[in-house]
Amino acid sequence: MSKLECQLGKLLLKNPVTVASGTFGSGKEFKDFYDLSLLGGIMVKGTTPEKRVGNKPQRLVETSGGVINSIGLANGGIDDFIFNILPEAKTYGTEIIVNISGGCIEEYGIMAHKLDLEGVGAVEVNISCPNVKEGGITFGTDPEMAYDVTKIVKANTSKPVIMKLSPNVTNIAIMAKAVESGGADIISMINTLIGMSIDVEKRKPIINNVIGGYSGPPIKPVALRMVYEVYKAVNIPIIGMGGIMNTTDALEFLMAGASAISVGTGNFVDPYIPINIIKGLEEYVEKNGLLSYKEIIGAVHR
Amino acid sequence: MSKLECQLGKLLLKNPVTVASGTFGSGKEFKDFYDLSLLGGIMVKGTTPEKRVGNKPQRLVETSGGVINSIGLANGGIDDFIFNILPEAKTYGTEIIVNISGGCIEEYGIMAHKLDLEGVGAVEVNISCPNVKEGGITFGTDPEMAYDVTKIVKANTSKPVIMKLSPNVTNIAIMAKAVESGGADIISMINTLIGMSIDVEKRKPIINNVIGGYSGPPIKPVALRMVYEVYKAVNIPIIGMGGIMNTTDALEFLMAGASAISVGTGNFVDPYIPINIIKGLEEYVEKNGLLSYKEIIGAVHR
Amino acid sequence: MIYKCDGIVIDNEPLIKDFIYLMKIKETKIAEYAKPGQFLEIKTGTLPLLRKPISIFAVDKVEGTISILYQVKGQGTKNLSQFKIGQSIDLMGPLGNGFAVEKFNKKCLLIGGGIGVAPLYDLGLRLKEVGNEVEFILGFSSKETSYAIEYFKELGPVKIATIDGSVGVKGTVGAILEDYDLTDISKAYGCGPEPMLKYLKTIEDEVDLELSLEAYMGCGLGACLSCVCKMNDGDYKRVCKEGPVFKAKEVSFDE
Amino acid sequence: MIYKCDGIVIDNEPLIKDFIYLMKIKETKIAEYAKPGQFLEIKTGTLPLLRKPISIFAVDKVEGTISILYQVKGQGTKNLSQFKIGQSIDLMGPLGNGFAVEKFNKKCLLIGGGIGVAPLYDLGLRLKEVGNEVEFILGFSSKETSYAIEYFKELGPVKIATIDGSVGVKGTVGAILEDYDLTDISKAYGCGPEPMLKYLKTIEDEVDLELSLEAYMGCGLGACLSCVCKMNDGDYKRVCKEGPVFKAKEVSFDE
Ligand SMILES: Cc1cc2nc3c(=O)[nH]c(=O)nc-3n(C[C@H](O)[C@H](O)[C@H](O)COP(=O)(O)OP(=O)(O)OC[C@H]3O[C@@H](n4cnc5c(N)ncnc54)[C@H](O)[C@@H]3O)c2cc1C
Ligand SMILES: Cc1cc2nc3c(=O)[nH]c(=O)nc-3n(C[C@H](O)[C@H](O)[C@H](O)COP(=O)(O)OP(=O)(O)OC[C@H]3O[C@@H](n4cnc5c(N)ncnc54)[C@H](O)[C@@H]3O)c2cc1C
Ligand SMILES: Cc1cc2nc3c(=O)[nH]c(=O)nc-3n(C[C@H](O)[C@H](O)[C@H](O)COP(=O)(O)O)c2cc1C
Ligand SMILES: Cc1cc2nc3c(=O)[nH]c(=O)nc-3n(C[C@H](O)[C@H](O)[C@H](O)COP(=O)(O)O)c2cc1C
Ligand code: FES
Ligand code: FES
């Protein structure tokens, strides 16, 4: 057995290095660089029940050493994903994890049901999008709504369910416990912080949507802290992300309590970061005489 | 009248550039560099009812382009401040704004009462510290507690009351409204994000207290977004801070809705940053033919 | 095929100091596959974090080099200007679709504004290689801020417009196009600032026109969906993947 | 008086490449006021964000220069090693209290471990200037990683200890101190890694001893309270302000 083999509940990855939703397309866009089967898994770009054109540009800007984006979940809709993207993606030889967003609880159920298909490794549930019915409160900030979303997704799929937590909350442990008690198999975290950037010449926000999701190296300390807190609060495995750029960053997340990690914004800077981290972890495990990388999961708690 | 004159409710500053609590000592430490009377105001290091030695070191570390600190409110206590620090500070020719932290609501009242003194320009209330009585929930994350703290401080002082908001909440606008309805004269924001950093060699958190407050350039996008949201939510003036390093950063905060700004971590990098920003704002106002810098407050909302 | 590789800087000269630079890079694989109108994503330093999209100005497939023409705007392009000869430079490319190059009946007209002239040199060269005649209309703000004109003159006649009239016709490229006989032209190409592209759309019915667009890019690979531009059918397309070159009639600059 | 000023690098030579460097900086004001044991806060580049505390190794008050001896550890000290002659360098100083310098009855003993030797050169020089005899005990890990010894030899006898025994006595400075007759010594000074300082505390009753401490610093000015170390009375003191030099008996290294 490989020393990097990664068991997340019933989801088995060949290694703990995945790529984060929205930063890796469906994988196709990175095929020229390396064999995608090297990856532990691919979280594909978020899908929604219907096609969405997304927000008006400018949709992304670099600021403060990170990136703010407000893509607005542009995608062809879940059916387009199933018929036009999944057939190719499932040939990549890595776990395809489908990231879903709904506008109401029922939509999450419908999407989960549609995705209960061969070739789908797991469902990752993005609860950072606003709930239209409940007047724009996001599912990701209200523990009861997060619980309900988890329940309905679980009820509609046989796949492992990954609940993706938003960091824009007062108490991340409460959110984690809510999705755990809803039956979540895995937690992935963190989604983007909400940020803003201003063009002082134009006296306008740079992102057309005014605010957007802040990601990249600057958010790492917040992400690590939250992984640390959630590891103490729940018993399900965590996929950690937020500013991971190299092996040291990945080790920090593992030691804070993540069982696997995801590279997001890093893919824009250097598409080889996930591959370099896989190599780096292999070397780390050898150098430290570990039987499995798992020995360091949650190491700072001991 | 100077084009930088800054009126924050009943608090009048000669310009909108202040220095943030905990990053400027009591001012004395920076006296060699420039005449402190140039500053709009000084928020002195946080004081508490009793002397506190603070946390065990390591108390601070640079990470991800910012800084994490966990000083633990080390200070000589409010009486020491009043008798040994204030007499000198009030000779600096700038507004002395006293930052206070209590372990329970009553303590805030007591401190405010003690500080109702000549030479104190305003009281800045730090509500990010945990409430010991209520089991460690911080005043800064519960709107009702924030309201109660504001009320008691207001009842005990004739000075302008600045409520300092923590960014570690789901909804900053609710917190802002709570302190506004409690009678706050001014809001200052943001305090630090909670972050963590890990030493992968030692497999231990770098900060002895495990987690700490994350400040500096990386938190600017989050701070700007929150100032933007709070500006829409309340009618009292805002002192904006979080990663301000230069005039452009300061302009971003003013345009997002702040009426004044504070330089924190920047003072460690270059003690002249506040002075450079004052000059920069003067130039900006001239170049753009403004009658007062106030014309750009909240500009992005228009 | 997209490559990520370390090229070697073999020249990095200011055409106008602190403003316009021409950099030549040894990188055989990208040189081999590059088509006119394609671009690179260049890592310019530790910060900025993101790579910067820069068009390919010229390609020498024999010596295995590519050249870029760039304007110093912010930190990223400033970093570029500080690369030394012999230094390695982290590139991704060639990216995007590129311009359509074929043998046309009549002449080709290449219209560039400011740093938008960059992709037109390689385009002109390839169009000539396959047997076309090329003409250029280039717009700058003034004589002092005009550059690279001698390169374009190698390939065909060049008409210049400057806003202040200090060289050529006074005004934008529009001032030249107004009186231009487009019936002589099989195909036109445009690259430049958005106001110029908007103006060019007014001639889209008179001549077959391709425009190269700019948009803020996250990945340059089609993955992040940040670089989209509006199409006439209301949909968005990715400038880095379906573009940067679009048929003028496809795109919409309406708000 | 603390100054923030731009010095000019007039020398920056590796004593051991990629490891130990000696930099000389023209900066008259700081040179004028610097006392032995004080330090500078140096801005080494855009990142790291924070300034880096570095001791003053030597001062030439006549030519108005200061020298620093530093070890490359991470990004900040790596940046330092890349400064070129003639480049300006953003300094704050002189900071901290410094060592007590006066005329003593008997000899002074200066004990340094690794890069902790840095402040002892200037200290030795000033002690001699006021009429003392000085002796050094310096500890390194090996011959290859020992440095600057010739500078100390100018000032007085130097005893060396190395962990691997490749030069001098095998072991830490403790291996020399064990057999050392401290009755000859009026005053001792120590600077080095924490284990060495802990060891030195075992001789604090035999000789009047000052230790120079290290702590992670935010401001270097006494404002942030991050750099504290524990005192014997349970209180904390700021290494940047009340220190970096403390009486050995004052400090506590207990957890
Ligand atoms: C397909 C394409 C080809 C280009 N070809 C060239 C060329 O050949 N020569 C040349 O000089 N410039 C070219 N540009 C523009 C160039 O990318 C920007 O000038 C550069 O990114 C500025 O970065 P900076 O850090 O120097 O300045 P900044 O201060 O960061 O930005 C200045 C302006 O440049 C633009 N910009 C910044 N970052 C990006 C980004 N990641 N993606 C897109 N635009 C950005 C924005 O409009 C911004 O307002 C091209 C752009 C695109 C999209
Ligand atoms: C009063 C004092 C005097 C010093 N004098 C010298 C000297 O003369 N020569 C010399 O080579 N070194 C000296 N040091 C140590 C020097 O400050 C560190 O080696 C340097 O800061 C490392 O920074 P870096 O970015 O290269 O490495 P990093 O990788 O950032 O850090 C390596 C280690 O250096 C220490 N360090 C990092 N940042 C700081 C900081 N802001 N404050 C304090 N310690 C830090 C930490 O222990 C860290 O683990 C002194 C330190 C102090 C406190
Ligand atoms: C351009 C962009 C698009 C994103 N789209 C999605 C998405 O569709 N669904 C989702 O759950 N997260 C999305 N994210 C969040 C990332 O998956 C990730 O949680 C976040 O960026 C933090 O990781 P990083 O700092 O490594 O980028 C997106 C992030 C970026 C930068
Ligand atoms: C070392 C340090 C100590 C601080 N101490 C206090 C404090 O005592 N009271 C308080 O309200 N805020 C304190 N803060 C928070 C700052 O006042 C400020 O709100 C925060 O650092 C964000 O601004 P910045 O990014 O410009 O530093 C402290 C910050 C730092 C870095
Ligand atoms: S830049 Fe990412 S899709 Fe075009
Ligand atoms: S480093 Fe700030 S008080 Fe010493």
- For B108-127, write each residue's pLDDT tens digit: 999 999 999 999 999 999 99
Q: Does A190 touch chain B (CB under 8 A)?
A: no
Residue type, B105: I
Distance between CA atoms of residues A176 and A235, nearest Å: 10
- Count, residues in chain D: 255
Pocket test for ligand 3, best of A68, A97, A215 (most atoms within 8 A of CB): A215
Nearest to D49 among B22, B65, B272 (CB): B65
Max Cα distance, chain D (Å): 50
Contact D61, D31 (CB under 8 A): yes
Q: Inspect the interface and report whether the beta carbons of C50 and A62 lie closer than 8 Å.
A: yes
Find out whether the beta carbon of C169 lies less than 6 Å from any atom of ligand 5. no
* Alpha-helical runs (H) found in chain B: 78-80, 86-89, 105-114, 143-155, 172-181, 220-233, 247-256, 266-269, 273-287
Residue D122 corresponds to which tokens in the numbers above? 């200037």
For chain A, the residues whose C-beta falls within 8 A of a C-beta of chain C are 22-25, 29-30, 32-33, 45, 53-54, 57-62, 65-67, 69, 71, 74, 216-217, 265, 267-272
The per-residue pLDDT for C254 is: 81
Is residue A167 scored above 90 in pLDDT? yes
**What's the pLDDT band for B1 if we cut at 50, 70, 90?**
low
Contact A7, A292 (CB under 8 A): no
Per-residue buried b or exposed e for D138-173, using 16+ beta carbons within 10 Å of the residue's own CB? bbbeeeebbbbeebbeebbebbbbbeeeeebbeebb
Nearest to B25 among D92, D223, D234 (CB): D223
Find out whether the beta carbon of A265 lies less than 6 Å from any atom of ligand 3. yes
Q: Is B173 helix (H, G, I), strand (E, B) or coil?
A: helix
Give the domains, in start order, of chain C with CATH numbers.
3-95 (2.40.30.10), 99-208 (3.40.50.80), 213-255 (2.10.240.10)
Residue A195 corresponds to which tokens in the numbers above? 């940020």
Distance between CA atoms of residues A85 and A119, nearest Å: 11
Span from the CA of D24 to the centroid of ligand 6 (angstroms): 25
Distance between CA atoms of residues C253 and C195, nearest Å: 9
pLDDT in tens, D103-160: 999 999 999 999 999 999 999 999 999 999 999 999 999 999 999 999 999 999 999 9
**What's the pLDDT band for B138 if we cut at 50, 70, 90?**
confident
Pocket test for ligand 1, best of A58, A60, A62, A200 (most atoms within 8 A of CB): A62
Ligand 6 atom closest to Cα of residue B268? 2
Q: Does C252 touch chain A (CB under 8 A)?
A: no
∠ CA C137-C143-C146, nearest 5°, is 55
Average pLDDT over residues C170-189: 94
- Count, residues in chain C: 255
> Is the pTM value of this prediction over 0.95?
yes
Nearest to A216 among C49, C228, C236 (CB): C49
Q: How far is CA A6 from the centre of its chain?
A: 16
Average pLDDT over residues C129-134: 96
Q: Is A224 helix (H, G, I), strand (E, B) or coil?
A: helix
Question: Shortest Cα distance from A183 to chain C (angstroms)?
Answer: 31
Nearest to B71 among D4, D220, D225 (CB): D225
Max Cα distance, chain A (Å): 58
**What's the pLDDT band for C245 if we cut at 50, 70, 90?**
very high
Select from B13, B158, B153 the least CA-distant residue to B94: B13
Pocket test for ligand 3, best of A17, A18, A21 (most atoms within 8 A of CB): A21
Ligand 4 atom closest to Cα of residue B128? 11
Span from the CA of D219 to the centroid of ligand 6 (angstroms): 5
Average pLDDT over residues D6-23: 97
Is residue C89 scored above 90 in pLDDT? yes
Question: Shortest Cα distance from A241 to chain B (angstroms)?
Answer: 14
Distance between CA atoms of residues A192 and A211, nearest Å: 12
Residue C18 corresponds to which tokens in the numbers above? 């602190």
Find out whether the beta carbon of D216 lies less than 6 Å from any atom of ligand 6. no
Q: Which residues 206-265 in chain B show a CB within 8 A of chain A?
A: 210-211, 214, 217-222, 224-225, 228, 243, 248, 251-252, 255-256
Is residue C35 scored above 90 in pLDDT? yes
Q: Inspect the interface and report whether the beta carbons of C224 and A71 lie closer than 8 Å.
A: yes
Average confidence score pLDDT of chain B: 96
Instruction: Point out the catalytic residue in the list B20, B43, B129, B193.
Output: B129
Q: Does D91 touch chain B (CB under 8 A)?
A: no
Select from C109, C105, C83, C94 the least CA-distant residue to C36: C94
Pairing status of strand B193-196 against strand B211-215: antiparallel
pLDDT in tens, D29-61: 999 999 999 999 999 999 999 999 999 999 999
Find out whether the beta carbon of D54 lies less than 6 Å from any atom of ligand 2. yes
* Alpha-helical runs (H) found in chain C: 28-33, 75-81, 118-129, 149-153, 173-177, 194-200
DSSP result, A112-125: HHHT-STT--EEEE
Max Cα distance, chain C (Å): 50
Each as own residue / partner, the long-range contacts of residues C206-209 (CB below 8 Å, 24 or more positions apart, any chain) are: C206/C182, C207/C109, C207/C182, C208/C247, C209/C247, C209/C248, C209/C249
Q: Cβ contacts of residue C153 below 8 Å, gap of 6+? A: none
The per-residue pLDDT for B129 is: 77
Average confidence score pLDDT of chain A: 96
Select from C125, C171, C183, C115 the least CA-distant residue to C145: C115
Nearest to D226 among B29, B69, B270 (CB): B69
Ligand 5 atom closest to Cα of residue C240? 4
Span from the CA of B35 to the centroid of ligand 5 (angstroms): 50
Ligand 4 atom closest to Cα of residue B262? 26
Residues of A tagged active-site:
129
* CA atoms A104, A108, A110, A114: torsion sign: positive
Question: Shortest Cα distance from B4 to chain D (angstroms)?
Answer: 27
CATH 3.20.20.70 assigned to A6-54+73-192+216-301 = yes
Is residue A135 scored above 90 in pLDDT? no
Average confidence score pLDDT of chain C: 96
Distance between CA atoms of residues D190 and D248, nearest Å: 9
Residue B129 is a catalytic residue: yes
User: What percent of chain A is modeled with pLDDT above 70?
Assistant: 97
Q: Inspect the interface and report whether the beta carbons of A224 and B194 lie closer than 8 Å.
A: no
Q: Output the residue whose Cα is nearest ligand 5's atom 3.
A: C222
Find out whether the beta carbon of C124 lies less than 6 Å from any atom of ligand 1. no
Distance between CA atoms of residues D167 and D161, nearest Å: 7
Span from the CA of A119 to the centroid of ligand 3 (angstroms): 22
Q: In what helix (H) or strand (E) does residue D124 lie, and over which residues does it extend?
A: helix D118-129
Q: Is B255 helix (H, G, I), strand (E, B) or coil?
A: helix
Q: Is D78 helix (H, G, I), strand (E, B) or coil?
A: helix
Ligand 5 atom closest to Cα of residue C216? 1
Residue type, A232: K
Select from C60, C72, C74, C71 the least CA-distant residue to C7: C60
Ligand 6 atom closest to Cα of residue D241? 4
The per-residue pLDDT for B185 is: 98
Distance between CA atoms of residues C153 and C141, nearest Å: 19
Find out whether the beta carbon of D2 lies less than 6 Å from any atom of ligand 6. no
Q: DSSP letter for B28, please.
A: G
CB-CB neighbors (< 8 A) of B168 in chain A: 170
Pocket test for ligand 4, best of B61, B111, B127, B192 (most atoms within 8 A of CB): B192
Q: Which residues pair with C58 in a beta bridge?
A: C67
Q: Which residues 119-148 in chain B show a CB within 8 A of chain A?
A: 141
**What's the pLDDT band for C105 if we cut at 50, 70, 90?**
very high
Q: In what helix (H) or strand (E) does residue C113 lie, and over which residues does it extend?
A: strand C107-113
The per-residue pLDDT for A138 is: 81
Span from the CA of B22 to the centroid of ligand 4 (angstroms): 5
Nearest to D2 among B24, B32, B57 (CB): B32
Q: Does A171 touch chain B (CB under 8 A)?
A: yes
pLDDT in tens, D185-225: 999 999 999 999 999 999 999 999 999 999 999 999 999 99
pLDDT in tens, A258-273: 999 999 999 999 999 9
Distance between CA atoms of residues B17 and B28, nearest Å: 18
The per-residue pLDDT for B194 is: 96
Distance between CA atoms of residues B81 and B44, nearest Å: 10
Find out whether the beta carbon of D240 lies less than 6 Å from any atom of ligand 6. yes
pLDDT in tens, C136-149: 999 999 999 999 99
Q: Inspect the interface and report whether the beta carbons of B200 and A251 lie closer than 8 Å.
A: yes
The per-residue pLDDT for D220 is: 98
Q: Which residues pair with C26 in a beta bridge?
A: C8, C65
Alpha carbon dihedral A72, A74, A78, A80, in 10-degree steps, equals 170
pLDDT in tens, B152-207: 999 999 999 999 999 999 999 999 999 999 999 999 999 999 999 999 999 999 99
Q: Cβ contacts of residue D211 below 8 Å, gap of 6+? A: D189, D190, D191, D197, D200, D201, D245, D246, D247, D248, D251
Q: Cβ contacts of residue B169 below 8 Å, gap of 6+? A: A170, B140, B141, B175
CB-CB neighbors (< 8 A) of B300 in chain A: 198, 203-205, 210
* Alpha-helical runs (H) found in B126-203: 143-155, 172-181
Select from D167, D21, D4, D26 the least CA-distant residue to D95: D4
Select from C163, C124, C120, C122 the least CA-distant residue to C144: C163
Contact D30, D94 (CB under 8 A): yes
Is residue B44 scored above 70 in pLDDT? yes
The per-residue pLDDT for A128 is: 84
Question: Shortest Cα distance from D75 to chain C (angstroms)?
Answer: 12
Q: Inspect the interface and report whether the beta carbons of C221 and A58 lie closer than 8 Å.
A: no
Q: Which residues pair with A238 in a beta bridge?
A: A187
Distance between CA atoms of residues A276 and D19, nearest Å: 27
Q: Which residues pair with C110 in a beta bridge?
A: C136, C189
pLDDT in tens, A58-110: 999 999 999 999 999 999 999 999 999 999 999 999 999 999 999 999 999 99
Find out whether the beta carbon of D225 lies less than 6 Å from any atom of ligand 6. yes
